[in-house]
Amino acid sequence: MMLKLTRQIETDIRKAGADAYPNECCGILFGSEDGDDHIVKSLKPIENARESGEQYHRFLITAEDMMQAELEARRLGLEIIGFYHSHPDHPAKPSDYDREHALPFYSYIILRVAEGKPELMTSWRLQLSREAFDSELFEIEP
């Protein structure tokens, strides 16, 4: 179980986290499956739909944005394989809130942004039991 992405995609997620600080950024991972691995081919940045006063610790992707993204992925011959979001001034670990709102299968990238600077980036997949996340390794190509 691994998440494969390019250095450019990693850079783009880090920049999105820094740009959104002190709020959370969010977006969708387009890609494909390779056995148990997920391969990220491109990002679809999404405007955080939570109320502005809540965006420092919450993100929301609306059903309409998800529907459009699903159609776009199909047009590109890709799949939605996961999501990314930032944790401003919080660890790059899933919160209880993340777990309550996550779905198995998807890869969830979390980027810690501390005082505006992107730091540790991690990825997770929710167990089928929904009780916990498993950490997912990265493979970053140059």
Interface ranges with other proteins (CB under 8 A): 24, 26, 33, 50, 57-61, 63-64, 66-67, 70, 74, 79-81, 83, 85, 87-88, 90-91, 94-95, 97-98, 101-106, 108
Please provide residue 74's backbone torsions phi and psi, each rounded to the nearest 5 degrees.
-65, -40
| Min CB(40)–other proteins separation in Å | 13
Burial 48-85 (b: 16+ CB within 10 A, else e): bebeeeebeebbbbeeebeeebeeebeeeebbbbbbbb
| Min CB(45)–other proteins separation in Å | 14
Asked whether 9 and 57 are in contact (CB, 8 A), the reply is: no
Cβ closer to other proteins: 90 or 138?
Answer: 90
| Min CB(10)–other proteins separation in Å | 20
| Min CB(129)–other proteins separation in Å | 13
Cβ closer to other proteins: 10 or 107?
Answer: 107
Rounded to whole angstroms, the Cα distance separating 7 from 3 reads 12
Cβ closer to other proteins: 7 or 97?
Answer: 97
Rg over alpha carbons for the chain, rounded to the nearest Å, is 14
